[in-house]
Chains A and B, each alone.
Chain A
Amino acid sequence: MQGQQPTVYVIDDDPSVRDGLDSLLRSVGYDARVFASPRNFLTSPPSEGPACIVLDVRMPDASGLDFQDELARTGYAIPIIFLTGHGDVPMSVRAMKAGAVEFLLKPFREQDLLDAIRQALEIDRIRLRKQAAEVDLHERFSTLTPREREVMALVARGLLNKQIAAEIGLSEITVKVHRGQAMRKMRADSVADLIRMADNLGLTDDKTNDTAPGLR
């Protein structure tokens, strides 16, 4: 989304396949980066824009599936397309369950691979957009004063201004001011919008027990 050329990582220990895919992906216009093993991939600097991995499942130093688990543990949710030399059903089921975009049997049709890559990059774009939105949301939230945060959390719980005022011991007018400030700082168009943001920030679950026990 940052207007960058999407990156496709190819991890395959077979130099012929690696070189072939490298040329193919560059000819299509992707920024192709090839690696002989998952280890080499993990030690390389990550790219900025949307990316996906094309991974051979059968490799000597770590099986593709173990690598998928490892990536998932580190929280790097980059989409993976699996390539395999032989159709192993339990293996493909495990891979798909763990979130693989596609499981292609070698030799595969070029169109199948390119379709899978397109789909994977789209998934990654959405992921990046979400991630960016979340970062943005947290940044905006960090500009709120403690009082404004408190009011925002209570609004999100569905309380009226009057109830909030009673809850935290302020006048209704002051609550209204804090509420207006919170909405402005959070750039919320409506109360519904503010509630959705509070939801994304996790305010609705956290604050329930701390701030509003008396209202139960």
Chain B
Amino acid sequence: MRREFLKYLFEMPFLWLGIVSLAGLIFIGDTVTDLEIAFAVLYVSVILLAVYSGRTGAIAMVGIACAALTIISYFLTSHGASQAGLINSTLSLVAIGATTYLAIRIEMLDATARQAQSELARMSRLMTVGELGTSIAHEVSQPITAIAANGNAALRWLSATPANHDEARRAIERIVADAGRAGDVIGRVRGLVARSSPSHDTVDLVQMINDVLELVRSEIRRGQILFRTELASDLPLVAGDRVQLQQVILNLVINAIEALAELDAETRELLVSAAADERKVTVSVRDTGVGMPAEMPDRIFEAFYTTKPKGMGMGLAISRSIIEAHGGTIYAAPNFPRGAVFGFTLPLGGKAKG
């Protein structure tokens, strides 16, 4: 418990600095003013500040501390009518108690909402992985096929007379590399389906985009899509939830692939780019596909709005809620001369909320 508390402190030092200094100022004010002045009511603002910690335990502790300070200051204050002071202090304590209770309730509701949002996001990830099932099976079966072939080859090279150790060693080296490759695929899939609470990671978007593209590589091949990336090599790290951001990119890329599926093979192009300026990172997915319906850019981010025969209309809605929770914006626009651009921006150095 103590260690956890220290962790919160460390996580948000400025918040706690603010809470402590505000409480200190109110305490001084409460102590130096007359007992008749209910200065302690201002502790309510300290408690409301504590809501930003996002921890019910922390809010309760701040509430108790405020109440204790009120009582201490009642005994320290020497001037003024003590009866009126007692009444005022009691009123302040009631206000502090009520505010603490409400703040804890708000935080609990907030946590439930966040939980629901993250469960929804996870459901949608599972569905996406389901859609990618054949592709993922393909990505795993390729290295396994290679491993089996190399393994059999190594056995034959070794049992030949004379044994060919060079060939056998090379085959075994390829087995090791292919096993690593199969493991990577599985790791990526597990990353997407794992039940994880929203987390604040430092995310390397370039690596994340490459990871996502590895998962859909065989979709891209099957779709016979001409595919390029333009990823700035000096892209700064962003703060956020790795799995959720990955989900957004995956959604956008899969949408693009599906939009391209209905076209002639020669015109299927997909460009994934990432760039940054001083204030934000922009990631965009540009396709030359069927483009967007006429009513729009806003409607397509609404829940249950879909133009796909098998779509649920949840992918973009969830993507938007994820990006907005990260303090960013998601957008859609027609591409020239054909197709659509979907992208999002994330603030740099800004605060990301879970």
Chain A residues with CB under 8 Å of chain B are: 13-14, 16-17, 19-21, 23-24, 26-28, 58-61, 83, 85-86, 106-110
Contacts and interface: CB of A to CB of B under 8 A. Distances in A.
A108 B152 CA distance: 12
A16 B221 CA distance: 16
A27 B138 contact: no
Interface of B: 134, 137-138, 141-150, 152-154, 156-157, 160, 164, 167, 170-171, 174, 177-178, 181, 218, 221-222, 224
B138 A16 contact: no
A20 B224 contact: no
B138 A17 contact: no
A11 to B, nearest CB: 14
B134 A86 contact: yes
Contact of A23 (B137, B138, B170): B170
Contact of A19 (B160, B174, B181, B222): B174
Contact of B142 (A28, A85, A109): A85
A4 to B, nearest CB: 21
A176 to B, nearest CB: 63
Contacts of B222: 58
B263 to A, nearest CB: 16
6 contacts: A16-B146, A16-B181, A23-B170, A85-B134, A86-B137, A108-B145
Given A60-B221, A85-B218, A86-B134, A24 B144 contact: no
Contact of B149 (A24, A59, A86): A24
B141 A20 contact: no
A53 to B, nearest CB: 16
Contacts of B154: 23
Interface centre among A14, A17, A21, A59 (most CB of B within 10 A): A17
Contacts of A17: 142, 145-146, 149
Contacts of B160: 27
